[in-house]
A and B are shown apart, each in its own frame.
Chain A
Amino acid sequence: MAKKSNTASVAVPKKKKSFKDICKENIGFFFILPWLIGFLVFKLYPMGASLFYSFTDYNLFKGMNVIGTLENYIDVFTTKKITTALGVTFKYAFITVPLKLVFALFIAYILNFKIKGVNFFRTAYYIPSILGGSVAIAVLWKAVFRDDGLLNGLLGIFGIEGPSWLSDPNYALFVICLLRVWQFGSAMIIFLAALKGVPTDLYEAASIDGAGKWRQFFSVTVPIITPVIFYNLVTQLCQAFQEFNGPYIITQGGPRNSTTLISLLIYNSAFKQYDMGMASAMAWVMFVILMVFTIIAFLSQKYWVFYSDEEG
């Protein structure tokens, strides 16, 4: 007790910090404050709220009762409509992600050559990504794929009777997948940047060793850009599982729910059936599934992704 008293008596009085000093010390915090507020208000709070709602029977106009059990989650896995939507979503993701990556890489590889008008082609291939899921695209897509549309008209020239793309449950998903693959521009631009970063001396060395263009691509280019492939894979996977625009504007989930992806079903459940509880449960199931796939992708990195700073 006495020691404390002595210490206090010899201590140099603390200089009071000015407001300017406080600001200076916490400048980093102030810089991230806008993002932090946005994250808390627009991300964390809605996520927390939806987690809570997923354990309730919250209806927009009939109020809310806490269920307190996993009833909504059990319903997600036992309701045929939802399990069908989950199945369609998996199918959609597993078709579109590889196709989009391959297509984007292929076009980026071509556009990496010094060809005439390359800037025009880069822009042209990027445009579909900007157009996205607009109403104009819905009209265009329907005009191409309807029974007497452009595609069947072209097939007819060769004597082929095209299927009913929009009304046959076996083909409708293909139409939606194609819309997504067509919008490969952003992935292509990222691949293009990566390809620009591949050292030319590696190609020269490979060429001297007798490697042809294909061998150079698979043995030099692809290994060098695997970090970018990995990045595109994860982002595309996330986007594919969350796809909403395509089925919403073109098929509205039909025919016979063959294009009802889980995000569309969540929307319908929340805003057409007003069943926020079930919609929240579905959203959380989707979140967990995406999380699992992302973790698997990250764990698989050590087997196929090569970083330049790694040894060996």
Chain B
Amino acid sequence: MKKDFLKRVMATGLVAAMALSTAACGDSADEAADAPAADTTTDAPAATEAAASTEEASDAAATDDGSYEECTLTISWWGGDSRHEATLAAIEAFEAAYPGIHVEPTYAAWDGWEEKMATAFAAGTAQDVNQINWNWITQYDSDGTAFVNLNDYASVIDMSQIDSAYLDMCTASDGSQAALPVSMTGRIFYWDKTTFDEIGCEIPTTLEELKACGEAFAAYGDDYYPLALGEYDRMILMVYYLESVYGTDWVTDGQLNYTVDQVAEGLQFIQDLEDAHVIPSIATIAGDGAASLDQNQNWIDGHYAGIFEWDSSASKFSAAAEGREIIVGDYLTDLGDYQGGYAKVSMCWAIASSCQHPKEAALLVNFLMNNEEAATILGSERGVPVSQIALKTANDAGLLNGQVVEANGKVLAWVQNSLDPKFEDSQLKSSDGVYYDVMAGLSYGDYTVEEAAQTLVDGVTSVISQ
């Protein structure tokens, strides 16, 4: 049922993307651009009372006259320098379009960001508008009170620009629209073609070819590997493998769908890759002394010639490997009878329930999501936008990163499984969580495959059942 649903979503996304890439200027898109909610032609900052309660907000939404209140809003996001610069420029454009609204930004790199924001949401001190991870909706908003219900501001936010299936992925437990999805993402292979050419290996499209590459790389140099995976990467690849073999989602409705034996099979698959010199051990990567793979010297100079990464991260990895040809790979076709793997909402915009000016915050969210000027400024800084008007604008202006678009297209065309947000629960995926423990423990030899499988099943079950 869920699979069909996801397929429908993917199909819709693909059709939209294809339509945009072939049509010069579709009428519907033009109409969408003129949609009232995306309208930024507010005459003057007429000071009106912002709707404070949900009921008031609903009334305001029903009778919105384009007015807004002069106020100061706060906004937060994480990311790299290029995202910071683009978002700051978009905020400047928003302030110009809405005189009287001042926006104070807070931004930083990802490291430590989740801890900071978790504390802020728990204490009710989060910024008004927040870039959030998809799983934060279930994690921080278990009772539907952490975020403003954006449906209450439907006259301010043009939700028609976003596929309803994507919107449904961002609803809280009480059915409220807790956030708006910015883009969809999934994991896919990227290969350093320069290194593959140097060693004389074809870019792998099957597991067999990948293992053959492992042999060739080992023969070329002990410190050369066709693929590099950290602990969490291994976990995602294992799930992709199991879903390819069995076709079942990893977790559904708080239930792990794989037995200990099946999980052991998945872990053995990972361990076989390490034994076949396809991936370096966890100790080898730790010994590199890099904070992340894109900062790892062995990736930068091509000793690690492949990664399994989010499609939205492509530019970061390509930029790091300057002077080398990084190409988007294909999914391995011989893993099983199914097209395993999943796509998920990469990130969202949400308004904290503590926000004193939710209508004005909604204007900002709408601007960042659907405004044409913002779309040209932001491009694909947060992945390929799901907002049709933003996608069309950025695409027409040639602002989308070709590699990101290619990778995103391949992901959405391939994956058939859906992901439970709990998969990304920080209790599981943090460096202190069970994913790291199991994957590192197996690689270091602290666990047998059976022990690791049991530990993983126990750890996952305890978190998803909460």
Q: Give the CA-CA distance A60 to B120 in the complex, in Å.
A: 10
Please tell me if the beta carbons of A167 and B286 are within 8 angstroms of each other in the complex. yes
| B458, CB-defined interface residue at 8 Å | no
Closest chain-A Cβ to B141's Cβ sits at a distance in Å of 8
Task: Select which of A254, A272, A273, A274 is within 8 A of B286 by beta carbon.
Answer: A254
Is A60 in contact with B287, judged by CB distance below 8 angstroms?
A: no
Q: Is B82 an interface residue (CB 8 A)?
A: no
The interface bits of chain A over 130-173 (1 if a CB of B lies within 8 angstroms of the residue's CB, else 0) are 00000000100011011101000000000000001111110000
A255 interface contact, C-beta 8 A: yes
Q: Given B118, B290, B431, B440, which contacts A274 in the complex, CB threshold below 8 Å?
A: B118
B426 to chain A: which residues have CB within 8 Å?
A: 272-274
How far in angstroms is the closest Cβ of chain A from B291? 8
A174 to B444, CA, bound (A): 19
Q: Inside 8 A of B432's CB, which chain A residues have their CB?
A: 253, 265, 268-269, 272-273
Give B142's nearest chain A residue, CB to CB: A61
Given contacts A60-B118, A149-B289, contact A255 B444 (CB under 8 A): yes
The answer to whether B427 and A273 touch across the interface, beta carbons within 8 angstroms, is yes
Instruction: Please name the residue on chain B nearest to A138 by beta carbon.
Output: B291
Residue of A nearest to B140 (CB): A61
Chain A interface bracket (under 10, 10 to 19, 20 to 34, 35 or more): 20 to 34
| Contact A142 B289, beta carbon cutoff 8 Å | yes
Q: Check A145/B289 contact, CB under 8 A, given A60-B119, A273-B432.
A: yes
User: Please, how many angstroms separate the alpha-carbon atoms of A147 and B222 in the complex?
Assistant: 14
Q: How far is the CA of A62 from the CA of B119 in the complex (A)?
A: 13
CA distance A265 to B432 in the complex (A): 8
The reply on B24 being an interface residue by CB < 8 A is no
Question: Would you call B430 and A272 a contact (CB within 8 A)?
Answer: yes
Question: Cβ of B466: which chain A residues have Cβ within 8 Å of it?
Answer: 62
Q: A271 and B444 in contact (CB under 8 A), knowing A60-B122, A254-B431?
A: no
B440 touches A256 (CB 8 A): yes
**Which of A165, A166, A256 has most B Cβ within 10 Å?**
A256
* B interface SS class: helix
Among B142, B285, B286, B446, the one with the most A-chain Cβ atoms within 10 Å of its Cβ is: B286
Number of A-B contacts defined by CB within 8 Å? 81
Report chain B residues within 8 Å CB of A147.
284, 287-289
**Residue A252 at the B interface, CB < 8 A?**
yes
Chain B window 292-332, contacts with chain A (Cβ cutoff 8 Å), 1 for yes, 0 for no: 00000000000000000000000000000000000000000
Does A252 contact B139, Cβ atoms closer than 8 Å? no
Cβ–Cβ contact B431 & A253, under 8 A: yes
Instruction: Given A61-B139, A167-B284, A256-B444, answer yes or no on A142-B290 (Cβ-Cβ < 8 Å).
Output: yes
Asked if B118 and A164 make an inter-chain contact with CB atoms under 8 angstroms apart, the answer reads no
Task: Please measure, in the bound complex, the distance between the C-alpha atom of A62 and the C-alpha atom of B118, giving whole angstroms.
Answer: 12
Interface string of A266-287 (1 = CB under 8 A from B): 0011011110000000000000
**A265 CA to B115 CA, complexed, in Å:** 14
Q: Closest residue to A265 on the B side, CB-wise?
A: B432
Asked whether B287 lies within 8 Å of A271 as measured between CB atoms, the reply is: no
Q: How far is the CA of A146 from the CA of B139 in the complex (A)?
A: 36
Q: How far is the CB of B451 from chain A (nearest CB, A)?
A: 14
- A255 contact from B283, B291, B427, B433, Cβ within 8 A: B283
Instruction: Please measure, in the bound complex, the distance between the C-alpha atom of A272 and the C-alpha atom of B426, giving whole angstroms.
Output: 6
- Residues in chain B near residue A166, CB distance under 8 A: 286-287, 289
Taking CB atoms and an 8 Å cut-off, the chain B residues in 252-304 that contact chain A are 282-291
Which of chain A's residues has its CB closest to B121's CB? A61
Q: List 21 A-B contacts (CB under 8 A).
A: A61-B139, A61-B142, A62-B142, A145-B289, A149-B289, A166-B289, A167-B282, A167-B283, A167-B284, A255-B283, A255-B286, A256-B446, A268-B432, A271-B115, A271-B118, A272-B115, A272-B427, A272-B431, A272-B432, A273-B427, A274-B118
Chain B interface (Cβ within 8 Å of chain A)? 114-115, 118-119, 121-122, 139-140, 142, 282-291, 426-427, 430-433, 440-441, 444, 446, 466
Q: Top 4 nearest A-B pairs by Cβ distance?
A: A146-B289, A142-B289, A167-B286, A147-B287
Known contacts A269-B432, A272-B433, A273-B433, then 12 further A-B pairs from the complex at CB < 8 Å, ordered by chain A residue: A61-B122, A62-B466, A142-B289, A142-B290, A147-B284, A167-B283, A167-B287, A255-B286, A265-B432, A272-B115, A272-B427, A273-B432
